[in-house]
Structure 1
Amino acid sequence: MSKKYEPIDSLHSPRFSGIKTFMRLPYVKTEKDIDFAVIGVPFDTGASFAVGTRFGPEAVRSMSSLLRPYNPGQEIDIFQYCSGVDYGDLDVNPGYIMESYDLIEKQLESLIDHRVIPILIGGDHSVTLPHLRAVSKKYGRISLVHFDSHGDTWDSYFGKKYTHGTVFRRAAEEGIVDPSRSIQIGMRGSLYSADDINDADKLGYQVLSTDQLKKLTPIELYELIHLRVGNQPVFLSFDVDFLDPVYAPGTGTPEAGGFTTYEAQQFIRSLKGLNFVGFDIVEVLPDRDPARVTSLAAASMAYEFISLVAWKKRITQPMSEMSAPVQT
């Protein structure tokens, strides 16, 4: 890598100034000289209840200006080891889910071919399916680590196979995710029937409910996940309704009894060393949260994703191969 992209120095340029990119990274559409790209996916046609998550990427970027390069929770200076950009938003076709899937998958292809790790900001959870399709084209059948309050393994909504509640059934059926090496974490809330509980199990996913997770430490969770996924390529998908509505009121289908932002940070930080090839965070609905608490939480989780990328880079690449930053 000959050069490095990093955020504007907020000690010289106030964080409230400038165009709102993620963490104030340079807005560059490139696959070269980068380890990760933050990418907005402003699509919410797959939502079954409240809509408006098409505005999620914009809101998350705005609150991300508060984030700084050194992550004390993971004890790493991200841009000492990584180069990254804000790639902007992917083009979608509002109201047309299949057409948008094709657009999303195609636009991710070149980045993933160059082994750039996408940090994707939705959008409703339906967009995870083309994310997984794009990653699977490069890496084959992948493992899924899925934080959510819902399993999203229903067969259909209103007779339609493609919604934000059917993503992980379709991913299993298409063979792009290996359920036997995947785990869903944080399931809770009311269901249509007792049979819903067994949907994910029948597909082969390991399911960890909120009640079960509350009994585990972050290290115990890591050990359970590592045992499940091993060294397989891993995609992490995080729905903000994993968090309790107190911490993420701006989402379309909130469920009481969830987790704090601190707990979620600890769970993600514990996942150091897994073979991550992509991440997304979805279901931020900013119009339902005027205080932007949810957007800040989502930006902070995406920051932890990037820190995992840097941590893995630190243990695999000698310092002598690190390069000077690009001035922005």
Structure 2
Amino acid sequence: MKLSDMLGAGAAETFLELPKGDLAKLGAKIALIGADGCTPYASVGFYCAGGPAAIRNGATDYGAILSHMNFDLGGPVFPNDVVAVDCGDLPVDPGDAAGNRALLKGAVSQVLDQGAVPVLIGGDDSLPIPMLQAFEGRGRKLTILQIDAHIDWRNEVQGENWGLSSTMRRASEMGHVERIIQVGQRGMGSARASEVEDAVKWGVEFVSGREVARDGIGRALSLVPEGADVVICLDCDALDPAVMPAVIGRTAGGLSYNQVLDLVAGVQGKARIAAFDMVEFVPSQDIGGQGALTAAQLLTAVLGLIARQV
């Protein structure tokens, strides 16, 4: 028995039973796009395959009650008419990383061309690279807020320069990215001391998971300039595994649901969310669907926050 059984929700063809979107003609201000992966490492492949579908399934409780009060937002998810569409999953190919990057960049470019906000769900953490590339030449300087247990500053891993451990390194090389704020890092991962030094030298501001636990999110939000165009890159492993077990490497000391939501809400309150991604959801690691429920609840609130700025 699920809440959706009682409330009359249907199967999750789209997230929140949103209208299906056509990238060529959105007719909406927010476009949700899924992708199972982008640039995989040979050793693991598309280990997040099925992530977008799992997140959609996690929201089945909400589809029939979308107009009800959402207490995470203080009102219905969408304050007026529906302003979001779900464009489904892109046909990515584990054997064609370059083609995947071109496909993702093209899809996000179509969304931006129509003045809408792209929201990506996936899928490994290499997805944000082509999403960020799509902003090139648009006259917009970006602030990136990365919320992640890892810093993703490796130049290469296993001979691959465009993989999930290199996302922020590649972002730092883009001329339209002027600021990177990284929140939530903890434990150990692919980063070595030299990568941290490179990031600090570039100008990255780090707010560790321990700092957030001790002092809250205030300093992180203070680093976001008023009125900035902000791309929020959320890796599911930023969240504590108690509420988000569906990740490849569970690490204690993660951010709470409310800390992540307050970060996004804080950005929306002082700046503009130009794009958002939620990546690194690993369905095979989920426990009793808990991760999918957390991801869906959070993504629902994020869509509501973006809807309030467009």
Question: TM-score, structure 2 length as denominator?
Answer: 0.87
Alpha carbons of structure 1 residues 173 and 123: separation in structure 2 relative to 1, 3 Å: same
Partner of 2:56: 61
Q: Mapping of 1:263-282 within 5 angstroms?
A: 263-273=259-269, 274-282=271-279
Partner of 1:321: none
Identity of paired residues, percent? 27
Alpha carbons of structure 1 residues 186 and 49: separation in structure 2 relative to 1, 3 Å: farther
- In the TM superposition, residue 136 of structure 1 has moved relative to its aligned partner by 3.5
Structure 1 window deviating more from structure 2 (248-257 vs 162-171): it is 248-257
Partner of 1:224: 222
Q: Mapping of 1:31-46 within 5 angstroms?
A: 31-43=25-37, 45-46=39-40
Q: Mapping of 1:1-328 within 5 angstroms?
A: 14-15=8-9, 17-30=10-23, 31-43=25-37, 45-47=39-41, 51-67=46-62, 68-69=66-67, 70-81=69-80, 82-178=82-178, 181-191=179-189, 193-218=192-217, 220-221=218-219, 223-226=221-224, 229-273=225-269, 274-313=271-310
- In the TM superposition, residue 257 of structure 1 has moved relative to its aligned partner by 1.6
Aligned residues of 2:143 and 2:231 also touching (Cα < 8 A): yes
Supply the distance in 2 between the matched residues of 1:182 and 1:76 (Cα, whole angstroms): 31
- In the TM superposition, residue 310 of structure 1 has moved relative to its aligned partner by 2.2
- In the TM superposition, residue 264 of structure 1 has moved relative to its aligned partner by 2.2
Supply the distance in 2 between the matched residues of 1:268 and 1:92 (Cα, whole angstroms): 28
**One-letter amino acid of the counterpart of residue 278, structure 1:** A
Aligned residues of 1:143 and 1:235 also touching (Cα < 8 A): yes
Name stretches of at least 5 consecutive residues in structure 1 with no aligned partner. 1-9, 314-328
Helix, strand or coil at the partner of 1:166: helix
Supply the distance in 1 between the matched residues of 2:8 and 2:197 (Cα, whole angstroms): 51
- CA offset digits 1:173-204 (Å, max 9, x no partner): 132422xx220101111256433432321222
Aligned residues of 2:221 and 2:263 also touching (Cα < 8 A): no
- In the TM superposition, residue 137 of structure 1 has moved relative to its aligned partner by 4.2
**One-letter amino acid of the counterpart of residue 153, structure 1:** W
Helix, strand or coil at the partner of 1:119: strand
- In the TM superposition, residue 233 of structure 1 has moved relative to its aligned partner by 1.3
Question: TM-score, structure 1 length as denominator?
Answer: 0.83
Aligned residues, how many?
298
Supply the distance in 2 between the matched residues of 1:222 and 1:194 (Cα, whole angstroms): 22
Alpha carbons of structure 1 residues 87 and 193: separation in structure 2 relative to 1, 3 Å: closer
- CA offset digits 1:121-145 (Å, max 9, x no partner): 0100001101111133435331101
Alpha carbons of structure 1 residues 19 and 11: separation in structure 2 relative to 1, 3 Å: closer
